[in-house]
Amino acid sequence: MKALIDRLNAEKTLSRAEWTALFAGFDDETREYAAEIARGIARARFGNGVYFRGLIEFTNICRNNCYYCGIRAGNACAARYRLTKDEILGCCARGYAAGFRTFVLQGGEDPFFDTERLSGIVAAIRAGYPDCAITLSVGEMPRGDYEALFRAGANRYLLRHETANRAHYERLHPDRMSFDNRMRCLSDLKAIGYQTGCGMMIGSPFQTPECLADDMLFLRAFEPQMIGTGPFLPHHDTPFAGEAPGSVELTLFVLSLCRIMLPDVLLPATTALGTASEDGRRRGVLAGANVIMPNLSPAARRKDYMLYDNKATGGEDAAETLSVLRAHLSEIGYELRVGRGDYGGNR
């Protein structure tokens, strides 16, 4: 297995059969070997700095019914909310004062936030904080809507592909959702000029080593600027409530392999990883991650944006959250780095 990792490090690619063998047969020694290489690559490119982004979960209303998601349209038990424009700008103000220079607006596919309304919010953030990056993560849209949001001032877009295996995708989503449309959206986003992020759930129901091999082949071909990947975690009000959570160790292994394959990629240690393991974010950084996304949403609403059970929501105050993160990262020889942290501008 180490020979495959060495080859990946040298050639930045493997065959589908080799990827499958790697995922089917890795052990802790292999994972730690990959982490050591990935950590060295990340250190060479980013030093000991970890970028931080302010996550604003502005609506938990969603038209979709993905079988794994706690805010799916079919969950009648969810306490629904929308933040107002002023509330969103208030989150940005508190975050900016604490040192955040990237804001990530994340929400369900909420018809209330149409392109005109969302463009107005983006434009207001851009006018108020011209030195900041604005990331959107609001799902699938027609290309024209993506273009309008880009013109309004959005720089980045996160749209997790969830799985690059068509048959697997269709087992995670209802019929109205299309694998081809998800891939079309990602292609459009990159063509428009967004710094584009995708990513997958590790250990989601029906995932096989072959599915993960397809994910890695897709990432290699697509070359995203960001990869958001974390373990599958079940939610009690979804069809997958009884499914086992994804493996922390496999998630860390995937993080390391992504860093080795795409050395410059922006790679978060996700909230899901921090939920699955108390020291998950630190372990993610040691596996090659270089981004953390603390929550800037109003504290009273964080418990309602529950994509999975027991989600780690962080401290109530932005400055306090950063203080805790600084202390945790210092213990492993890393530090938070202030700045936008754009792709290609990190070295």
- Section 271-288 average pLDDT: 96
When pLDDT is cut at 50, 70 and 90, the band that residue 320 belongs to is confident
Average pLDDT over residues 316-324: 83
Checking if the pLDDT of 279 tops 70, the result is yes
pLDDT (tens digit, 9 = 90+) per residue, 225-262? 999 999 999 999 999 999 999 999 999 999 999 999 99
pLDDT in tens, 60-77: 999 999 999 999 999 999
Residue 50, strand partner residues: 336
**pLDDT score at 345:** 63
* pTM, entire model: 0.96
Q: How many helices (H) and strands (E) does the chain have?
A: 14, 11
Contacts of 278 (CB under 8 A, 6+ apart): none
Q: For residue 321, which phi and psi values (nearest 5 degrees)?
A: -60, -45
State phi, psi for 310 to the nearest 5 degrees: 65, 30
- Across the chain, mean pLDDT equals 96
- Model confidence at 332, in pLDDT bands (50, 70, 90)? very high
Is the per-residue pLDDT at 346 higher than 60?
Answer: no
At 50, is the secondary structure helix, strand, or coil?
A: strand
The band of 313, judged by pLDDT with boundaries at 50, 70 and 90, is confident
Cα dihedral: 142, 149, 268, 247 (round 10): -30
Task: Give 115-173 as a DSSP string.
Answer: HHHHHHHHHHHHHH-TTSEEEEE-----HHHHHHHHHHT--EEE---B-S-HHHHHHHS
Residue 314 has pLDDT above 80, yes or no: no
Q: What is the structure's pLDDT at 347?
A: 44
pLDDT at 233: 98
pLDDT, residue 257, reads 98
Looking at residue 317, its pLDDT comes to 79
Per-residue three-class SS string for 234-245: CCCCCCCCCCCC
Give the pLDDT band of residue 312 (cuts 50, 70, 90). Answer: confident
pLDDT of residue 316: 64
Residue 227, Cβ neighbours under 10 Å: how many?
27
% of the chain beyond a pLDDT of 90: 96
Q: Percent of the chain beyond pLDDT 70?
A: 98
